[in-house]
A and B are shown apart, each in its own frame.
Chain A
């Protein structure tokens, strides 16, 4: 009985792992194959990688799209974790009835679907296009602004602050540090794991964001990576080998961030749940 349970566990988890990994393997293999072989579902690596890469660079503006995605994601991530951690810390350390009420109202924003926001947001940024083009439609600021602050991240940091030892704040005060000094010099360095987890979550969602950039970015030179891939995929005569290569390249940064910081990520997630 015990032994059969054991075997079942390994078999089940192995199947789940294979199903999870398989599309990645196929994606990498397909990046080395001709378009025809991809549609046939060829499972063996081919010799078309270099040619696919050349064609990808010739037919698309991959470099620009990567650059746009990198700029947007990095700035969004830095701003997001600073703003949200300040707020999460503030709500927890300087608790008051009014602030708790405000916090609860902020949490309600998690229930608002983006579908309900896209039309009014588009109109807000379209209105700004004339007076402040740098903030208007087709600008990087317009992509970033609505996604920088989320109630989820504030909640995440507030939960983590609950576990931050309060004596360290007192010690900082006795040492004559200002409140903001305590935050930057004591809280931030102590909570590295939490920041890492928040950073990974934000970077991934920003790098992968599709719907809002699709609406707000209109000129080709502003397009981000997901828009480029979606465009390639819905083209009239798509070259599947090229598309697969583009997808592999687009997935590399998030996969890399995940593997390098996996420990922080899991530790941070656990901290937020306690």
Chain B
């Protein structure tokens, strides 16, 4: 394809260039209009202040406010707790399940795979509401734990600042583990089984095979899923709003929800909301760079 293009005359090449661009132009314009243009608008907005539509430039004042904003730091802390606890648990769990499922002699393989992936068909709102009721004070989870004598008194899953965070972490893990598992499973099926056979002949244990073969082979996909999970967690909104509304106090408030509150719940302060939103962008860029670096070093 490329060769014929190079050998062809200039007019054919020009024509081919135009044809090529006509395929991609709609997508390019849409992404520019709905991602990059708003990002520039948000940057400009972050230097303005005012209520609703009456905005004026104020220089760095929004950024100064950010550094002394206690609610912002609470939201930031909560989001990082979700991130540090939830993402590793989910990725390890998904990896583990996918390795177990990658055994072609396994019976009911299709059933297990479908069942574990099933949570992904629910909407974030729907499953959040179901979890809110399951984890209610007199609800199903407490009733079951008490019947099994694991706990004596009901746990306040929704209204206690500590347990509310745990509830949200359990909920997100339930929803997304199967999703990540499918990625690992697909990647595992691309690994040549003769590599494992050779390792077995050499006497490598399954634990050793896991760390020496599986993990290195899956590294690109683990990197991909850990970045998407990080971005997803930093954007956490639906679950927090529908399970705890950010409470009790602000103990489960996420950054996305704080931005939403600043823009649409309280008196609209779009300038400051844009400033807070840029903090997430910067965090995502820094974390992604770190993840790339960590993955690169192990080579």
Contact = CB atoms under 8 A, between A and B. Distances in A.
Interface string B10-31: 0000001101111110111011
Contact of A86 (B24, B103, B130, B190): B24
Interface string A80-113: 0001101101110111100100100010011111
B231 to A, nearest CB: 6
Given A21-B118, A240-B133, A255-B121, A112 B23 contact: no
Given A9-B103, A226-B123, A21 B115 contact: yes
B74 interface: no
Nearest to B285: A111
A139 interface: no
Interface residues of B, number: 94
B250 interface: no
Given A94-B20, A116-B280, A254-B122, A211 B35 contact: no
Interface string A232-259: 1110000010011001001100110010
Contacts of A110: 231
Contacts of B28: 87, 102, 106
A102 B115 contact: no
A266 interface: yes
A66 interface: no
Given A41-B139, A111-B231, A211 B238 contact: yes
B30 A148 contact: yes
Contacts, number: 270
A12 B115 CA distance: 13
Contacts of A5: 206
A16 B95 CA distance: 13
A109 B35 contact: yes
B126 A89 contact: no
Contact of A119 (B245, B259, B281): B259
A51 interface: no
Contacts of B182: 266, 269
SS class of chain A's interface: helix, strand, loop or mixed? helix
B284 interface: yes
B27 A106 contact: yes
25 contacts: A13-B97, A16-B115, A17-B115, A19-B174, A20-B119, A86-B27, A87-B28, A91-B23, A95-B2, A113-B256, A113-B277, A114-B256, A115-B237, A118-B277, A119-B259, A120-B45, A145-B30, A148-B30, A166-B1, A169-B1, A225-B123, A229-B123, A229-B129, A250-B126, A269-B183
Interface of A: 5, 9, 12-14, 16-17, 19-21, 23-24, 26-27, 30, 38-41, 43, 83-84, 86-87, 89-91, 93-96, 99, 102, 106, 109-124, 145-146, 148-149, 151, 154, 166, 169-170, 179-180, 183, 204, 207-208, 210-211, 215, 225-226, 229-230, 232-234, 240, 243-244, 247, 250-251, 254-255, 258, 262, 266, 269-270, 273-274
Interface of B: 1-2, 16-17, 19-24, 26-28, 30-31, 34-39, 41-42, 45, 97, 100-101, 103, 106, 111-112, 114-134, 136, 138-144, 174, 178, 182-183, 186-187, 189-190, 206, 221, 231, 234-235, 237-238, 241-242, 245, 255-256, 259-260, 263-264, 270, 273-274, 277-278, 280-281, 284-285, 288
